[in-house]
A and B are shown apart, each in its own frame.
Chain A
Amino acid sequence: MKDLLEIFWVFAKTGAITFGGGYVMLPIIQREAVENRHWLTEEQLIDFHSLSNCLPGIITLNCAVFIGNYRKGKLGGIAACLGAITPSIIIIMIIAALISGFADIPAVKDAFGGIRACVCALVLNVILKLWKKSVVGRTALVVFICAFACSVFTSVSAALIIIAAGIVGLAIFAVKSASSASGKGGGD
Chain B
Amino acid sequence: MIYIRLFYEFFKTGLLSFGGGMTAVKFLYELAERTDWFTIAEVTNMIAISESTPGPIGINMATYAGYAAAGVPGSILASLGFAFPSMLIVSLVYGFIRRYRDSLLFTSVFSTLRPAAIALMCSAFVSLSMVTLINVDAFATGGLFAVLNYKSIILAAVCFFGIRKFKLPSVVFIAASALIGIVFDFSP
Contact = CB atoms under 8 A, between A and B. Distances in A.
Interface of A: 15-22, 47, 50-52, 54-62, 64-66, 69, 74, 77-78, 81-82, 84-85, 87-89, 91-93, 95-97, 99-100, 106-107, 109-127, 130-131, 133-137, 139-141, 143-148, 151-152, 157-159, 161-166, 168-170, 172-173, 176-177
B128 A144 contact: no
Which of B21, B23, B30, B63 is packed against the most chain A CB atoms within 10 Å? B63
A78 B85 CA distance: 11
Interface residues of B, number: 107
Given A114-B178, A144-B115, A162 B108 contact: no
Contacts of B98: 47, 51
B106 A127 contact: no
Contacts of B133: 117, 120
Interface of B: 12, 14-23, 25-27, 30, 41, 44-45, 47-51, 53-60, 63-64, 67-68, 72, 75-76, 79, 82-83, 85-87, 89-91, 93-94, 97-98, 101, 104-106, 108-126, 128-129, 131-133, 151-153, 155-157, 159-160, 162-164, 169-171, 173-174, 176-182, 184-188
A118 B113 CA distance: 28
B156 A117 contact: yes
Contact of A140 (B17, B44, B45, B111): B111
22 contacts: A18-B54, A56-B14, A69-B94, A78-B91, A89-B75, A92-B49, A111-B186, A112-B48, A113-B186, A114-B182, A118-B156, A119-B47, A121-B163, A123-B25, A123-B47, A147-B119, A147-B120, A148-B123, A158-B30, A169-B109, A172-B111, A173-B109
Contact of A162 (B104, B116, B126, B155): B116
Given A145-B119, A158-B120, 8 more contacts: A19-B169, A57-B15, A69-B94, A82-B83, A89-B79, A118-B177, A120-B125, A147-B119
B160 A158 contact: no
Contacts, number: 349
Interface of chain A: mostly helix, strand, loop or mixed: helix
Nearest to B75: A93
Contacts of B106: 54
A164 B179 CA distance: 43
Given A89-B63, A173-B104, A151 B48 contact: no
Contacts of A51: 97-98, 101
B58 to A, nearest CB: 5
A146 B76 CA distance: 35
A158 B112 contact: no
Contacts of A172: 108, 111-112
Given A55-B97, A121-B156, A115 B112 contact: no
Given A140-B111, A176-B104, A127 B182 contact: no
